[in-house]
Amino acid sequence: MSFARPAGEKVVLGVGNLDAQIMFVGEAPGAEEEIQGEPFVGPAGQLLTKMIGGMGLKRPDVYIGNIMNWRPELPLSDGGTQIGNRPPTQEEMLYCLPFLRAQIEIVQPSLLVALGSTAAQGLLGFGTFKALGEVRGRWKEFAGKPLMVTYHPSYILRSQTNRSKRMIWEDLLKVMERAPLPISDKQRGYFLEK
């Protein structure tokens, strides 16, 4: 007999290099992350790994975490499993922010990258912007660290145009410049319309 656990019963903490220079921050684990106990392992996570590779790094070189450390609950199906995901509420993120701050304190990254609107709202404060475009690609600050806000990798999964890929890539180029990481002409030209 198998028992399906409801969402939110497994804590998913950040993973990666405890001496990482760059820390990526998402919103909360989804179903695949909850099963594997690691952030960003589903399709968006696989794309994030490719993005990190495009920066000339490997996933183990960076630190990856979420503001919320467990999967936000939704009503369960008749079979007792949760279908789908939802972003964490303001209250849930505020509850979890001390855990994220503790991870930042341990890792001491030089730079933070907020992935998506929910993560950006959690880090910058609720109501600080209406649309992600207002803060995307601009340096902000969280916990005394420079913070770059960009789109979540799932944005590219929904809009696979060179234009959307280039917007995120331009944000990552700014991170690479500030790190500083070497940037080749090839990297500078990724996703430019031809």
Q: Between 7 and 67, whose confidence is greater?
A: 67
Task: Note whether residue 80 is domain-resident.
Answer: no
Query: Quick check: 75 pLDDT over 70?
Result: no
Contacts of 149 (CB under 8 A, 6+ apart): 113, 114, 120, 124, 132, 135, 136, 137, 138, 140, 171
What would the mean pLDDT of 132-144 be, rounded to a whole number? 96
Burial class (CB in 10 A: 0-12, 13-18, 19+), 35: middle
Exposure string (b/e) for 93-130, b if CB count within 10 Å is 16 or more?
beebbebbeebbeebebebbbbbbbbbbbbbbeeeebe
Q: Taking all residues of the chain, what is their mean pLDDT, rounded to a whole number?
A: 91
Higher pLDDT, 188 or 2: 188
- Any domain includes 9: no
**pLDDT score of 7:** 54
Alpha-carbon torsion angle 126, 37, 72, 86, nearest 10: 80
Confidence of residue 76 (pLDDT cuts 50, 70, 90): low
In a domain, 3, yes or no: no
Rounded CA-CA distance 62/55 in Å is 11
Confidence tier at 194 by pLDDT (50, 70, 90): low
Tell me which residue range forms the domain holding 167.
16-72+85-188
Contact between 174 and 139 under an 8 Å Cβ cutoff? The reply is: yes
Asked if residue 2 is part of any domain, the answer here is: no
The count of structural domains within the chain is 1
Q: Is 79 among the domain residues?
A: no
Residue 42 covered by a domain = yes
In a domain, 180, yes or no: yes
87-131-90 Cα angle (round to 5):
35
Has residue 128 been placed in a domain? yes
Q: How far apart are CA 14 and CA 6, in angstroms?
A: 21
Residue 140 contacts residue 147 (beta carbons within 8 Å): yes
Given strand 145-150, what is the order of strands in its sheet? 15-16, 63-66, 22-26, 111-115, 145-150, 139-142
* Mean pLDDT score, 138-143: 97
Residue 145's Cβ-count burial label (10 Å; 0-12, 13-18, 19+) is: middle
Least-confidence region, from 4-13, 25-34, 63-72, 155-164: 4-13
Provide the CATH number for the domain around residue 165. 3.40.470.10
- Give the global pTM: 0.91
Q: How many CB atoms are closer than 10 A to CB 131?
A: 8
For the segment 9-25, the average pLDDT, to the nearest whole number, is 94
